[in-house]
Amino acid sequence: MTDLSVKNSTPLLQVEGLHMSFPAGSGIASKKHAVVRAVDNVSFTIEEGKTFGLVGESGCGKTTVGKCILRVYRATGGKIFYMGTDITGLPDKQFNSFRREIQLIFQDPYGSLDPRQSVYSILKEAIVCDGKRHSKEQIRARVNELLGLVELAPAMSGRYPHEMSGGQRQRLGIARALACEPKLVVCDEPVSALDVSIQAQIINLFKELQKKLGLTYLFIAHDLAVVRHIADTIGVMYLGHLVEVMDAEKLYTSPVHPYTRALLSAVPITDYDVERSRRREVLQGEVPSPINAPSGCPFHPRCKYATDVCRQTMPELRDMGDGHFSACHHPCTGAALQQEQTAQG
């Protein structure tokens, strides 16, 4: 297994060889003992105060990774270290001491809020669940503080979720997570349900809160254009596997995995001349079923560079230098990438 750990310091979060499998279900058409390998040997680290973006198509396993970290799912293999402590197999009583420090922001800001509770009640519930005694004045002051952090007026505390816009509801979801004073926040596609103009506002809010409170984010998304504006490091997933990890800015200029390059080619560019002249990399076929995953490299059925070694041997994440890791038998690097782009350009 490739070691992606941060040297000379203990990262806030370290995931090593994470596996998560589910029974394939029952029925006449189902196979006996078949399993869905939602996450297969995923490793990454997040330093304190940084953002790790996890991107990929729907169904690639990125949300499952987040739920394993939150202990919504018990990982079937691998280890998860939080501040140097292995939390993977901790009994619930011991893990409870970490629950307030690891919070989740949901994709659907409306579905994740109780429609029968007011803003004040939702935030109060998160504040008082620490088991400490709080006076009414302390709770009111904390609610107003949290609303100010997410740029909502104190007068909003009497409203209900259905009386708020999508952006306001997501700000409330963020405030609820902040009520627990977390160190790590798992953001599960937190802007995908919002209008584009509101997405930019929420992304800027995430960045401001990170600077102000020293938060660490695992930012899960399927939109590379969104992740670019917030992530320090980006990991690209495909069919449960991490296929490329590198610095966020470099990912957009020097990707070497064919899948990453295909994703980037689908991101629209506002410059008309550049957009018109650039070459699209259209993937053929559909994503294979995780129940009947292909042998060797999971991407080889859709990859035009695939050879026999790709069909037979699973590639490991290899260090390409300067913090760049890629799981590809034939990474297109340096002069080869430039030559191909020129020939096709």
Q: What is the CATH number of the domain that holds 294?
A: 3.40.50.300
Q: Is residue 304 part of a domain?
A: yes
Asked if 69 and 186 count as a contact pair (C-beta separation under 8 A), the reply is yes
Identify the helix (H) or strand (E) that includes residue 251: helix 248-251
> CA nearest 187: which of 33, 46, 341, 329?
46
Two tokens, residue 93: 């009583």
Global pTM value: 0.88
How many structural domains does the chain have?
1
pLDDT digit string (tens) for the chain, length 345 residues = 445 444 447 899 999 999 999 887 655 555 566 788 899 999 999 999 999 999 998 889 999 999 999 999 999 999 999 999 999 988 888 888 899 999 999 988 888 899 999 999 999 999 998 888 889 999 999 999 999 999 999 999 999 999 999 999 999 999 999 999 999 999 999 998 888 889 999 999 999 999 999 999 999 998 888 898 899 999 999 999 999 999 998 888 888 999 998 888 877 666 555 555 566 677 777 888 888 888 999 999 888 888 999 999 999 999 888 889 999 998 875 434 444 444 444
Extended strands (E) in 47-82: 51-55, 77-82
Rounded Cα–Cα distance for residues 337 and 329 (Å): 15
Predicted confidence at residue 109, as pLDDT, reads: 82
Rounded Cα–Cα distance for residues 315 and 226 (Å): 28
Q: Is residue 271 part of a domain?
A: yes
Rounded Cα–Cα distance for residues 194 and 70 (Å): 24
Q: Is residue 327 part of a domain?
A: yes
Q: Is residue 52 part of a domain?
A: yes
Hey, how many other C-beta atoms are within 10 angstroms of the C-beta on 67? 18
Cα dist from 316 to 43, 309, 330, whole Å: 11, 13, 12
**Full domain range(s) for residue 54:** 47-70+182-344
Asked if 187 and 206 count as a contact pair (C-beta separation under 8 A), the reply is yes
Query: Under DSSP, is residue 324 helix (H, G, I), strand (E, B) or coil?
Result: strand
Predicted confidence at residue 27, as pLDDT, reads: 53
Positive or negative torsion for Cα 63, 69, 70, 74: positive
Q: Is residue 176 part of a domain?
A: no
Asked if 186 and 107 count as a contact pair (C-beta separation under 8 A), the reply is no
Identify the helix (H) or strand (E) that includes residue 67: helix 62-69
Two tokens, residue 267: 């991101």
Predicted confidence at residue 273, as pLDDT, reads: 57
Q: Is residue 334 part of a domain?
A: yes
Positive or negative torsion for Cα 88, 189, 232, 266: positive
